Structure 1
């Protein structure tokens, strides 16, 4: 893509620390695309584990990681988000390298647990790092640009991993996991060279922070976190329910699944930043959350209609579904970016961001069972029930966010800060 087009669409932040972060994230997510596509086959066909053993190990890792997310958020507040984030990237690089040598379930379980902890820690601290590298006016846009890079990276990684699937040998699958290790290390190396000013809280501000409610005592913030987590179920509708529904319940050819994924990715890459700029304040984001529920409900009803259609008409309806669903996805993620930043205490971004990430994280863990039971097991009726679920969730997210915003002056107190000895990159605006 021409650089002038990239600049016009604002797909990348301006030159400086945030752009390096976006490029590092792109590199990292190419590895994620490799791993998501070929990792399970590596464990079953190269390591020799059963599907059940693989699922159990990965589930344990995710569960332990979710339980420890706030620990990493506190560490980010104490030592700086960059140090914690880069350290977790290094741990992931090491674990991916170790995976290539694992040949037993017991060692797989150990490595998968450490990897799961690092993975959830990365998700829990990325918001804090963006906050530290940007100012109040561009952090929501920066988060959207990071998500754009994520989608591009995942797409590239998936395409590369497709070659490994075609070769279908143990060596090819080992290459997928080893490649992920190399890309984690490359991303860590790139971020290590970006200096981020970490401001230590003064003694007076520390006393005020203790008196102010933390994220686990901030009931309004927890309500927004929970409601946003409910809306985040849509991600698993795309990645889990849709492929199984199209393959088992419709007359559409299986290649139409890839078509949907490609169209969705292109729309997100082109429009995520623009849509997020319309959610720069909580009232605007709350309105987007309500629209999200309506759009996702319409998408559910549209998908329900595909069960009785012929192949050609079904493909056309799937394309319509993709547009409707992606609109809901763009609105939900944009509202999520605003809620996560604007409703959090500036004195404890690491802790608040890690707690906020728990909503989508827990839903990701529960979603396969929930969707398999509710939707795939009940057909059209299941999609109708899910449509109602999304409408209610959008209303709850909007209402909770507006309530938290009204209460915000009571807990958001600007901190008196003392800069640490860490040098600041002049191109990076510190928080």
Structure 2
């Protein structure tokens, strides 16, 4: 009897402890309002990074590889932010890679062939005019496809599949298949590299400003909740979120600053600026790359559009219930046109990053980028059934996809097998999304 009572007491105590621990974790996530699905994706990303780091013999998690990974992710991440809005409204855009190639070729021809004849070589306005031309062309293409979808009721799958073929063919006809190079020196800064980075000092300044922005956003959010009598997070949760945000930002800056210029470039820089060459060598940090800053800026703007503007609310309302949105007075057709026009502009921004990084506009530019962009959005939590998606999740999905590709390249895996892995990951992500939605109901 005594042994039985003792056993029962121990079971109750251990069960109570487990329940208390479970409640503690649940309370933590509830108080901080951290998206557990996004946290799970971060966990998966860390597992992939550690796995590749072990398999590559310590090559993956180095400042050099992580710096290049961030640059390579930028163009797809930019397009993924727009793909979120497209998929949220129950549409799809298969033409983004071809639009990237076409607008990239337009910008290349403008700065390498047409503008030098009018403005002369190395004119300071060349890069700006070329970029503006690409943005205008991208916006017009997107609006044209959106109008066909919205007003002619042609499914987006068909319209953008046709666009994939049309704009890829148009890219070839712009220069009859020739590669256009080189790009304007100022334009090339958008592609990264030693010149296309902001250096250690400015990187720390940007990091500190980002930390201040995070703290300001948390304070402002708390004030807004109090103003409208919404429930507020516990004060300790606000401190935790601010600390986590600042640690991540400063950690990223530290990694970017740990990647130094190649010794030959540093030596040429020292000779050009009459800097004595130290005995141990000259270490000049790359800092944060310009394309990464562009991608982050696009992500912030797109998040603001999606969560703070009326247009963003309309987008999610249409995705949640198109008929109800129409009856509520939302001009769903014009919203669709605007979404695809915005997608076209984002493709042009991605084209500028890609073209600047390659220092050339080629006919193969952007091929299969539609696959990576859609995969990034879906892996990031955007539901193909519409109505659900986040910009941050899509950008994280782009980083995950590029991490897979980068790791496989370091392992020497052939390109065909890389595509097999990407395709499998996309199918797996959609299946997991289906299971997640079913359990949420």
TM-score by length of 2: 0.28
- Which structure has the highest helix share of the two? 1
TM-score by length of 1: 0.28
Bigger radius of gyration among the two: 2
